[in-house]
Amino acid sequence: MKGNSYLPRKIHSLLGVIPLGLFIVEHALTNYSAYEGGKEGFSDSIDLLNSLPLVLWMEIFLIWLPILFHGVYGLYIAYQSNINTGRFSYGRNWAFTAQRITGVITFIFIAWHFYETRLQVALGNVSHEELGQHMNSIVSDPLAFTAYIIGVLAATFHFANGLWAFLVSWGITVGPRAQKVSSNICMVIFVIIAALFLLSLFAFRGDEFASAAATALSSVSVG
C-alpha cells in the first residue's frame, strides 16, 4: 500500500470510536455523577479517575492525540464535501451534512472546553476539588451555558452518527436492513448520552456547586 488517503481515513474512522467514543461515554457517566450524587458524587468520580495509573499518559495517548488527529483530519474531510441537502433532502443526506457541521462545532467547543477546564488544572489555577465550583461559575453565565448545551449536543450527535458510519465504513453493517437497525440504535445512544450530559449541566447550575462563599451568603440571606 502506497501513501494515500485510505489509511488516514480508516484511522480517522477507528479513532472516532476507539478511544474517542469510549471517552465520551466515560465523560458523560462521570458528569452524570454530579446529577446523581451531587457535589460529593462528582468529586468521588474525579478522585476515581485521577487514581488511575498512568493517568496523564492515558490522557495524552487515548484522548488528546486522537482528538487532535481526528479533529484536524476531520476538518479536511468537511472541506472536501459539498452540501446538497437543498436538492437531495433525504434523511441520510441531512445526517451526512450534520455530521460535518457538528464535527466543526465539536472541534471548536472542545478547544474552548479544554482551555477552560483541563488547561486551568494543569496551570494550577483550579484544583480537582474546585472543578465542581469551577463548572458552576462557567455555566451560571447564560451565554456559556447555551454554548455548552450546543457543544454537548453537537459532540453527542457526531459520536452517535459517526458510530453508524463507522459500522458501514468497516463493512460491519452491509445491507439496508442492518443499516436501518443500526441507525435506530445509534439515535437511541444519541438521546441517552445527550440526556446524561444535559442533566449534569443543569446539576452544575445548582446551589450545591456554587462556591463556598456564595453558598454562605445565600444561607445567611435565607436564614
Please report, as ranges, the residues that interact with another protein according to CB under 8 A.
1-2, 4-6, 9-10, 77, 79-84, 87-88, 90, 92-93, 95-97, 99, 164-165, 168-176, 179
Residue 53: all three cell numbers together:
495509573
Buried/exposed 164-192: b ≥16 CB within 10 Å, e otherwise: bbbbebeeebeeeeebeebbeebeebbee
Q: Give the Cα-Cα-Cα angle 153, 155, 161 (nearest 5 degrees).
A: 95
Distance of closest approach, residue 95 Cβ to another protein, in angstroms: 8
Distance of closest approach, residue 211 Cβ to another protein, in angstroms: 46
Of 9 and 118, nearer to another protein (C-beta) is 9
Q: Give phi and psi for 206, each to the nearest 5.
A: -65, 160
Distance of closest approach, residue 84 Cβ to another protein, in angstroms: 5
Nearest Cα to Cα of residue 61 among 4, 98, 99, 20? 20
Of 128 and 180, nearer to another protein (C-beta) is 180
Of 56 and 172, nearer to another protein (C-beta) is 172
3 state SS of 18 = coil
Distance of closest approach, residue 176 Cβ to another protein, in angstroms: 7
Of 163 and 214, nearer to another protein (C-beta) is 163
Gap between the Cα atoms of 8 and 75, Å rounded: 13
Distance of closest approach, residue 71 Cβ to another protein, in angstroms: 17
